Amino acid sequence: MLRFAVYEDGSPARIWPVRHASVVGPDEMPVHGTVRFVESLLEVDLPAPEAAGLSLQVEIDGSGPDSADPAGRVTCQTCLLPPRDEPYLLMLELARHRVMRVLNKLEEWALFDLGPGEECMGLLDAAREAFVEAAAAAGSGLSPEARAGWGQADVLARRALALAMEAGEALTLKQAAIQGAKRSSGDLAKAAAKAESPSNALTDHEAAESRNALLGTVGVILPSPPQVGCWVPPARFDQTMQQLVTRSCDFISVPMRWLDMEPNEGVYRFQPTDRWIEWAVTRARLPIAAGPVIDFRADAVPAWLGIWEHDHETLRELVYEHVKTLVTRYRRTVRTWTVVGGLNTNSNFKLGFDQMMDLTRLSVLLVRKLQPQARIQVEIDQPWGEYASTEERVVPPLLFAEMVTQSGLPVDLLALRVDVGQPECGRSTRDMMAFSCMLDRYATLDKPIALSYLSAPAAPPEAEALGLEQELDPGWWREPWSPMAQCRWMTTATGIALSKPFVHSVSWHELCEGAQVHPRHDGLLGADGQARPALARLGEIRSAIRKNEPILALPDEPTQLTPAEA
C-alpha cells in the first residue's frame, strides 16, 4: 500500500476531494488500484507490492510572489514509489516528479544549450531550490516526530510544484517554437534524411535512440505541412456552416455514429451525411475524414445492437456488414477512414482483448480491400489511460496502440482523441507539458499521429453534471473555462501539437454546439449561434501554417469576425 499525507493551509486536511485518481506503473502505464481518503491520508491499494505512482487532480497556485495568476486545476502525478507503512508527503512527491520530468525533457529535446537567461531555466532553478527547501523541511518522515515539520514542508512543496509546472510549460513552448520553425522550413526533414545510424549501435532501438537525441524528436518525420480541420454536424447543413468551414479548414471530419447511420436494424439514414460529403467534394473541394465507423461507446451505438454484445460471432458479422455498407457507399469520396474508435476503453460493450483485436483486424482489412488507396487510422480514446486503473477487462491505451502497430495491420496513422474539460471519467484537464509528453510517447511507435478529436469547453460544466461530491469536476487550465480560455487553450495545444514533425493533422470538435441535456460547450459556435473567439482563431492557425508563421506567436485575442462572417 502507498499512503500520502495531504495538508491544507499548513495543517492536516480534514476533507480532500479525490478526483480523477489513478495508479501509474512503470513506463507510465496505468495499473489497477483503488484510491481513498482516510483521516488526512490518501491510501492507494496496489495489486502487487511493487513501486507505483499516483495520478490525481490538484489545484496549482500561481508561482509569482503574490500568487496572483493561478496555474490551474490539473491532473498530475508522482514518481514511482516503493510501498511502505509510513506515508509520503503528497505535494513533495508531485513536485519531485515534475522537476524530474523537466530535467529529462531537457535531455530528450536536445535543449542543452539553453542559457541561464531563458525563462524556463530560471524557473527550473527556482523550482529546484524550492524543492530542496521543502525536502529539508519534510525530513525523513519515517516517524511521527520526524513529520512535525510537514505543514511547512507542504507550503514549500506547493511553491516548488507551481514553479516546476511553470518551468515545464515554458520549456514545452520553447521546444515547440524551435521545432516548429525547423519543421515549417523543412530543415528537420533534411536533417533526418542525412542522419546516419551510429556504427556502434547494437540494435535498432539503440540506433533510433541515437537519432532521436541528435534531432531532438522521436518518431517519424513527415515532409508535408500539417493540416487543420473540424467536425461538422450532420443534423445542420446550411450556408453559414459551409462558409465557416471553407474559411477555417483544410479538411472536414464527418461523424458516422452507428446510432445515426443505422438507427433501426437494416434501415440506413444516409441523407444528413450525403449532403455534407457531396458539398465537400463537388463545391468546396475539401478532403474528407470519416468515422469512427465502429465505435461501441454508449452514445454511438443503436439500442438494437446491444442484444448481440455477448454473441461475438453475430456481432462480428454485423460489424462486417456495417463497414462494408458505409465504405462501399463513400469510397469514391472519403479519403481518410477512422475505422475503429474507443475500443480500448471497453466502456460500454464488454469485449475481451482478443475480441477487440479481432474486430479491429476485421475492420481495417475490409476497408483496405474495398478502398486500397484510403488512408486508414485507428482512434485511441482517453490516451492517458485513467480508465485502466479502475476498470476490469480493459487494455491500457498505449498497449492497445502497440498491439495495433505490431500486428502488421495496414494502419497509416494512430488517431488520438484528446477531450479535456468535460465532467466525465478520463476527460480531466492536464497542463501543456503533460500534453506534449503524451504525444511523444505515442510517437515512439513510429506511426504518424492525427489528433482526430481535439476539444476544450468555452464554459464550465453544469453543476448537476459534476456528481454528488463534484467528483467529476474536470478542472481548468490557467483560468476557469470561458470563450477566451477555450481560444487560448486551442492556440497553445494546437501550436505544440503541430510543431511536432510526426503530427499529421488536428481536427477540432466541433463546429457548432448541440442541444444535449448537459451541453459540452466545445463548439466554435455556441448554442445561441454566436461565434466564439476560437472560430476566428482556427482560421488564423490555418493561415499561419500556410505562411510558415509560428502558431504560438499569434496574438492573445484573435481578429474579430464581422457580423456577416459570424
Question: Which secondary-structure segment (H or E) carries 119?
Answer: helix 119-138
The domain locations on the chain are 2-181, 225-459
CB atoms within 10 A of CB 494: 25
CA–CA dist 78, 150 (Å, integer): 17
pLDDT at 66: 45
CA–CA dist 119, 131 (Å, integer): 18
Contact between 442 and 448 under an 8 Å Cβ cutoff? The reply is no
The set of residues, in sequence order, having a beta carbon less than 8 Å from that of 540 and lying 6+ positions away, is 554, 558, 559
Peptide bond into 226 cis (omega under 30): no
Q: How far is CA 361 from CA 44, 306, 313, 383, 479, in A?
A: 37, 21, 14, 20, 43
Which cell numbers hold the place of 227?
493540416
Which cell numbers hold the place of 83?
510501498
Q: Considering only CA atoms, which of 499, 495, 411 is closest in space to residue 217?
A: 499
Question: Which secondary-structure segment (H or E) carries 381?
Answer: strand 375-381
Q: List the pLDDT tens digit at each of the 566 positions of the chain.
A: 899 999 998 889 999 989 999 999 998 889 988 999 998 899 999 888 889 999 999 999 876 544 446 678 999 999 999 998 889 999 999 999 999 999 999 999 988 788 878 899 999 999 999 999 999 998 876 667 667 789 999 999 999 999 999 999 999 999 999 999 999 988 887 777 776 666 565 566 656 666 666 667 788 999 999 999 999 999 889 998 999 999 999 999 999 999 999 999 999 999 999 999 999 999 999 999 999 999 999 889 999 999 998 999 999 999 999 999 999 999 999 999 999 999 999 888 888 899 999 999 999 999 999 999 999 999 999 999 999 988 877 889 999 999 999 999 999 999 999 999 999 999 999 999 999 999 999 999 999 999 999 999 999 999 899 988 889 999 999 999 999 999 999 999 999 999 999 999 999 998 998 755 568 899 999 988 889 999 999 999 999 999 999 999 999 988 865 444 54
Q: Which residue has the cell 492557425?
A: 541
pLDDT at 208: 65
pLDDT at 218: 80
Say which DSSP state 459 is in.
Answer: S
- Give one DSSP letter per residue of 306-365, joined into a string: GGGTT-HHHHHHHHHHHHHHHHHHHTTT--EEEEEESGGG--SS---HHHHHHHHHHHHH
Contact between 221 and 192 under an 8 Å Cβ cutoff? The reply is yes
Helix axes 397-406, 432-443, angle to 10 degrees: 30
3-state secondary structure of 469: coil
Contact between 294 and 357 under an 8 Å Cβ cutoff? The reply is no
Q: Are strands 449-455 and 413-419 parallel, antiparallel or unpaired?
A: parallel
CA–CA dist 305, 298 (Å, integer): 11
pLDDT at 67: 46
pLDDT at 516: 59
Fold of 225-459: TIM Barrel (3.20.20)
The set of residues, in sequence order, having a beta carbon less than 8 Å from that of 469 and lying 6+ positions away, is 17
Interval 156-183: pLDDT, tens: 999 999 999 999 999 999 999 999 999 9
Contact between 472 and 425 under an 8 Å Cβ cutoff? The reply is yes
pLDDT at 164: 95
Contact between 20 and 57 under an 8 Å Cβ cutoff? The reply is yes
CA–CA dist 447, 505 (Å, integer): 13
- With b for 16 or more beta-carbon neighbours within 10 A and e for fewer, the 12-47 pattern comes to bbeebbebbbbbbbeebebbbbebebeebbbebebe
Q: Are strands 41-45 and 2-5 parallel, antiparallel or unpaired?
A: antiparallel
3-state secondary structure of 18: coil
CA–CA dist 459, 532 (Å, integer): 11
